[in-house]
Amino acid sequence: MTQTYDAVVIGAGVMGASIAFHLAERGLKTAILDRKVTASGATGHSSGLVRMHYDLAAESALTFASYKNYFSNWKERVGGECGFQTTGFLQIAQREHEDKLRGNVANQQKLGINTSVVSADEVKKLFPDLVTDHFDFAAYEPDSGYADATLTTNSFIEAAKRNGASLIQNCEVTAVHASGGKVVGVSTTKGEFSSPIVVNAAGPWAKLVASLAGIEVPLETWTHDVAFLHRPPSLGKIPAVIDDVINCYFRPEGSALILAAGEDESMRGEAPDAEDQTPTPTFVDKLIDAMLQRIPKLEESGLHSIHVGRDGITPDQRAIYSGTELGGFYLACGLSGTGFKTSPAAGASLSELIVDGEPKTVDITPFRFERFAEGKLLEGEFGYGNIWK
């Protein structure tokens, strides 16, 4: 028997959950389909940073709207928990990128973001256990921090269900159907779903799902290793940090652990369902060596655990939020490891595009799918280069 909906969202990660929440909130009867279970892909392995420093103003606008309208007042706006913790955030820049750092901070201040350029001496005063000899300046966001991606996803889905949405798990999409140049539904391992709106938020599976609709999306898989380190008892407070000098990022994980990862050793092109979830052979040694340069007290620490996540990445390492040449078929994919912190506002904006014909929360037109065919890849106004080497 065919089930009929106003909208079908493929993928129950944080982006699909956000889109479903916003569509259901607008009164659309929405189904969320996932080939496994909620947050079982990239979302479940997200590092969960909530920060606003990007070299592309459109991404800063998405993250700021997500922080301001959602993460900072989650219970009132969505309900449930997102686990947001304010730790402060530092973007540590290489010395030769000082002008770019200042340019990006100026752009973010124009958006209303609480951010400033601080000296290495000021960083040392704020966070005495960080070594500051390797840089001169950083961007500092005192309001930023991190949240729990799985809690966030589940809260979105529960709120969507309160507005009439349905979650169907262990439900793999096997075909996308169209008629007269418009999408009309999907076939799955749990039957047929009829809908004039289908949103592809399938993470590393998004390229395959798009191909079912006859659309070629320039995505490859991106596999990323993340470590949890024991926090030394003598270590004082630390913020969330993206450190372009040592090519790492890190943040507290509760009171007992530190989450840390490198930015230069991610693998590309593995199958979305590749079973090998072991880290690259040199990951731990390289990460520890780098982290000791910034936090020497980690010498007293040790490795707690490692996890491996997989997402989809585009040629310009920026997301796709867009309609397509197939009417009613939308893309929310290619998140390139930055989807979590943008998901609330991106979900709102794409839902506005779907329902109203234009986004209102944030202008997401820079992330249109057509940019790849046009050869107009996104570049930062004061670019640092690709995040993932």
pLDDT surpasses 60 at 100: yes
**Which tens digit of pLDDT belongs to each residue from 167-216?**
999 999 999 999 999 999 999 999 999 999 999 999 999 999 999 999 99
Instruction: Return the pLDDT at 273.
Output: 80
Which of 54-63, 111-120, 279-288 has the weakest average pLDDT?
279-288
Average pLDDT of the segment spanning 44-61 = 96
DSSP secondary structure, 143-170, as one string = T-EE--HHHHHHHHHHHHHHTT-EEE-S
Q: What are the tens digits of pLDDT across the range 259-281?
A: 999 976 678 888 888 666 778 88
Arithmetic mean of pLDDT over the chain: 95
368, pLDDT greater than 60: yes
Q: How far apart are CA 37 and CA 160, in angstroms?
A: 16
What does the pLDDT average to over 290-315?
Answer: 94
In Å, what is the CA distance from 200 to each residue of 87, 97, 319, 322, 335? 33, 37, 13, 10, 12
Strands 30-33 and 166-168: parallel
Reported as a single tens digit per residue, the pLDDT across 161-175 is 999 999 999 999 999
CA distances from 20 to 3, 158, 165, 318, 352 (A): 17, 10, 7, 22, 12
* pLDDT recorded at residue 54: 97
Q: What's the CA gap between 179 and 161, in Å, rounded?
A: 29
User: What confidence score (pLDDT) does residue 389 get?
Assistant: 55
139-149 mean pLDDT? 98
Q: What is the pLDDT of residue 281?
A: 81
State the average pLDDT over residues 246-262.
96
123-136 pLDDT per residue, tens: 999 999 999 999 99
For residue 17, pLDDT beyond 90: yes
Whose CA is closest to 66, among 364, 293, 276?
Answer: 364
352 compared with 277, residue with greater pLDDT: 352
Three-class secondary structure of residue 108 per DSSP: helix
Complete domains list, the chain, with CATH = 3-45+150-219+316-374 (3.50.50.60), 85-145+222-309 (3.30.9.10)
CB of 53 closer than 8 Å to CB of 111: no
Express as a percent the part of the chain with pLDDT over 90: 89
DSSP 173-209: EEEEEEETTEEEEEEETTEEEE-S-EEE--GGGHHHH
- What does the pLDDT look like over 335-344, one tens digit per residue? 998 999 999 9
